[in-house]
């Protein structure tokens, strides 16, 4: 059987933004909490014995920190890939969720219902996120049998699933990606194949 190139997408560990219930994108770049660092270290044992060709990351701190222990354990560096950055929240970047629901309830409810038709003010649609992330992943050097680990964000994994499955943007609301959630993409002659990753069985 021919070995295929694979990319393991990993959502970052628990971050300070998660702990505070705030959106974070460009203007505010928080790191991991103590729990997040524990999750990052667990990734090392989860992937023990799995050959890894490269480790790449969103340039945002919480994503980079998530794969630093893994990269160090494998003697690899972490390469920044701007296309893996979190969904652009526009004017909502860095604001507490409860504040947005209170101060801009109509736009907030519309976005919660349909992130495709009603993106954040000056922000990205979920389909745009999927296209951006897939373009970044398609551009990564890869070879048969190699695994690339890509640290990114929840809406990036959702966007990729929406994009590859050809479903509408609102369906992303039915996808939940926990901290350290993983998605394995395998390159095939017919395009990318999606596998829900299981720790230790990549």
- Tell me the catalytic residues: 12, 86
Round to whole Å and give the CA distance between 200 and 202. 6
Q: Which of 71, 42, 44 is nearest to 57 (CA)?
A: 71
Round to whole Å and give the CA distance between 142 and 53. 8
DSSP conformation letters of 162-176: HHHHT--GGGGGG--
Residues 6+ apart with CB under 8 A from 43: 10, 66, 67, 69, 70, 180
9 token code pair: 């997408």
22 token code pair: 């705030």
Beta carbons of 51 and 146 less than 8 angstroms apart = yes
- DSSP H stretches of helix in the chain: 16-20, 34-46, 61-74, 97-103, 105-113, 126-138, 154-165
């Amino acid at each position: 059987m021919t070995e295929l190139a694979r990319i393991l997408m990993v959502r970052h560990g628990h971050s300070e933004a998660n702990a505070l219930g705030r959106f974070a994108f460009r203007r505010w770049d928080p790191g991991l909490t103590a729990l997040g660092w524990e999750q990052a270290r667990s990734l090392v044992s989860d992937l023990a014995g799995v050959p890894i060709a490269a480790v790449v990351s969103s340039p945002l701190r919480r994503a980079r920190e998530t794969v630093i222990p893994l990269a160090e354990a494998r003697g690899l560096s972490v390469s920044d890939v701007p296309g893996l950055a979190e969904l652009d929240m526009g004017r909502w970047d860095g604001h507490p969720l409860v504040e947005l629901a209170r101060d801009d309830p109509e736009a907030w409810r519309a976005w919660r219902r349909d992130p495709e038709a009603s993106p954040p003010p000056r922000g990205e649609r979920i389909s745009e996120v999927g296209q951006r992330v897939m373009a970044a992943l398609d551009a990564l050097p890869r070879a048969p049998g190699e695994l690339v680990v890509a640290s990114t964000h929840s809406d990036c994994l959702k966007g990729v699933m929406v994009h590859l499955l050809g479903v509408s943007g609102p369906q992303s609301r039915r996808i939940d990606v926990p901290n350290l959630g993983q998605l394995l993409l395998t390159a095939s002659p017919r395009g990318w194949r999606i596998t829900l990753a299981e720790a230790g069985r990549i």
